[in-house]
Structure 1
Amino acid sequence: MTIPPKTWMVRAGKRGALIDRFRNASRVAIGWAELGSLAAVADRPAMVALVRAQWPDWNAYEVGNNAGQLHRFRSEIQASDRVISYDPEGRVYHVGAVGGGYAFEPAFDPDYPNVRPVAWIGTVPRDALSVAAKNSLGSVTTVFQVPADTAAELDALLAAPEDRATVDLAASVHARGDAGGDLAVGPAPSATLVDSAAEAAAEQELFEDLEAKALEFIKDRLAKLSARDMELFVAGLLRAMGYKTRVSPVGPDRGRDIFASPDGLGLEDPRIFVEVKHRSGAIGAPTVRSFLGGRRPGDRCLYVSTGGFARDAKYEADRAAVPLSLLDLDDLVALALEHYDTLDVEAKRLLALKRLYWPA
């Protein structure tokens, strides 16, 4: 099997604004114009130092991320490599061969003066790529190396554009046949159905992967809250569920961190006593028994432990004389997502989330 050339993505500015200039000038370019020429910055440590000096307020990640992209463009891309850039309007990836070394050309664009010469050799429609390849090219990073399997897929599609046309024609013929046309179709419909099913499965797998990662990041964010902020967040979650709450002041809490009830006074049932433990270790049965002490018939109890619960604690909850619910970090995140829209401003400040839309 032919090994594809090393391939790099160089984005054409925001929303592909520079793609026509890239093609017309046979260039790819990046910004960071404040740094001036990078010709003398031959290694990554020197690039890191340059970026840190220019933007001293940036954190270590910002410095490393930006310096890494600059170093790739300046030194790692070689004349034998391929480069691609995306045209979002045409939904195609323009593919070119790198024609030479780094240059500083403010005349190309004062905001994008760092350039590389490129001989453009063809295009690949985004719709012709697999879901996995589309995902690998979806990074918002300006400069990155394209994974080898995606580079091979681009190379194959670039080398055989007639195959793409055949596939597209077969799909078109199949669609017209379904619509009542008189065109005969051979095995293409079943192949199309197989491809569609495979793509749907790949999209579902990608969605589940992103969903799992998002849940872990949400748990990471909650885990970073202080013990007091965690109590306030749980109280906010209970308010979002329709209860009025009172949070015990810092110090001895008389066996509860939060009290919740429909009226906030405890005159209406249910009266909910809440204990919140924000730590890494699992809660055991003795701690649960201590919390339940003094509770009376009609009370309801909720124990929140971000460190989880030992098996004996769960057994203790099951046999308790008063109803007791145990919530670990996973349960807390699930409830937070279910009721996020009705959380008040204070609770959303403690767990700020963005909504992400995904094709249904």
Structure 2
Amino acid sequence: MSETNMWMVRAGENAYLIDDFKNKNYVAIGWDIGDISKVENKDQVKELVEQTCTYFSKKSQISNAAGQMNRFRFDFKKDDYVISYDPANRIYILGLIRSDYEYNTEISDYYHTRKVDWVGEVRRDDLSTSTRNSLGAITTIFAINDDAAEEIIEILEGKKTHPDEELEEISEEELKEDMVSRAHELIKDKIIALDWEEMEKLVAGVLRSMGYKTLVTERGSDRGKDIEASPDGMMLEEPRILAEVKHRSGKMGAPEVRSFHSVLRGRKGLYISTGGFSKEAKYEADRSIEQLTLIDSDRLVELIIQNYDEFDVETKLLVPLAKIYWPA
């Protein structure tokens, strides 16, 4: 493929403008900040968005809108490829940009426009999994990566048939693993951002979700707290658990683990450190005569995911998560 760019331009909410795009040979975006054909640079566009789009409550929304406006105004070039998606028919329409930016208040209620010559259509079902996924971004405008663009052109020209099913299965599994890994890191980001008191409440909530009743007790001059847990809440029934929570960036070493071990006195021990543990600390726990488990931030994320459905409301508010279903 040549160095010509390919851009996605979505046809409004739920693609309600897709027939207009096809029949009137154009693409367009909203955010009516007025005619920007005479605007000289991207900073001026951002200033217009800040002044005009007062319904944006976050700086990230302003930056996102300005970024997309700037791409449409400055980065799109004549003879670049452009695609838009028709979800009702599962078809991508492909065309070539034939005009500079135009401000047109008559063609639709999206005033920022570019004229397009549509050259063909590609069925979503004919695309590889990796290409379909690359086209799934939620933003109105984005650049299509080179591999996906090349595949779209090859299918349009009849040079590529339906993707190999075995390769598709591998690609889908890799995508699933990638999504799981990203979700894990995002959840970890959430728990690392909690303050020390919220972290202790989170650990207590995890224990409650597993069927224990908890008691948080004051201890130490460093504002640290122990969490005691047992099935009856009176710390009489076994297993009786003592949990220590350390919410800091540094790893816990052998002396800290040894100190915690000394106060267990027949109870099961959970030492939670979001900063992790040194090799010596892990060795100290392994050789402990008491049952002592070390939990770092990755293991804590796993416990959160495994038990989230049983979390009480207070604990869910600490780490709000949404369930995503994946095709089996």
Pick from 126, 138, 141 the counterpart of residue 140 of structure 1.
138
CA contact (8 A) 2:219 2:226 kept: no
User: C-alpha deviations, 1:69-126, integer Å up to 9, x for none?
Assistant: 001111211111111000011111001111101111222223x111111111110111
The CA RMSD over aligned residues, in Å, is 1.9
2-structure distance, mates of 1:108, 1:290? 74
For residues 156 and 113 of structure 1, the distance between their equivalents in structure 2, rounded to whole angstroms, comes to 33
Query: Which amino acid is 1:328 matched to?
Result: D
User: Which residues in structure 2 correspond to 1:315-330 (within 5 Å)?
Assistant: 315-330=283-298
Letter in 1 for 2:10: R
- Aligned: 1:92 with 2:60: no
Partner Cα distance (1:150, 1:58) in 2: 34
Task: Quote the offset at 1:249 in angstroms.
Answer: 4.6
Aligned pairs, number: 327
Give 1:120's aligned residue: 118
What are the residue-to-residue correspondences of 1:246-265 with 2, within 5 Å?
246-249=215-218, 252=221, 256-265=225-234
User: Which amino acid in 2 is paired with 1:36?
Assistant: G
Cα distance in 2 for residues equivalent to 1:32 and 1:153? 32
Specify the alignment match of 1:231 in structure 2.
Answer: 200
Instruction: State the Cα distance separating 1:253 from its structure 2 match.
Output: 8.5
User: What is the CA deviation profile of residues 161-195 of structure 1, one whole-angstrom value per residue up to 9, with x for unaligned ones?
Assistant: xx66xx57xxxxxxxxxxxxxxxxxxxxxxx8xx1
Asked if the contact 2:219–2:225 (Cα under 8 Å) also holds between the matched residues in 1, the reply is no
Query: What does 1:1-360 correspond to in 2, within 5 Å?
Result: 2-3=1-2, 5-33=4-32, 35-55=33-53, 58-110=57-109, 112-160=110-158, 167=161, 195-249=164-218, 252=221, 256-297=225-266, 299-360=267-328
More helix by share: 1
Q: Give the TM-score normalised by structure 2.
A: 0.94
CA distance in 2, matches of 1:256, 1:9: 53
- Percent identity reads 46
CA spacing shift, 1:58–1:316, aligned 2, 3 Å: same
In structure 2, the gaps of 5 or more residues are: none
2-structure distance, mates of 1:233, 1:256: 13
* Cα contact 1:256–1:275 (8 A) shared by 2: yes
TM-score, normalised by the number of residues in structure 1: 0.86
Greater gyration radius: 1
**Distance (whole Å) between structure 2 residues aligned to residue 119 and residue 36 of structure 1:** 25
User: Counterparts of 2:29 and 2:250 in 1: how far apart (Å)?
Assistant: 48
Name the counterpart of 1:174. Answer: none
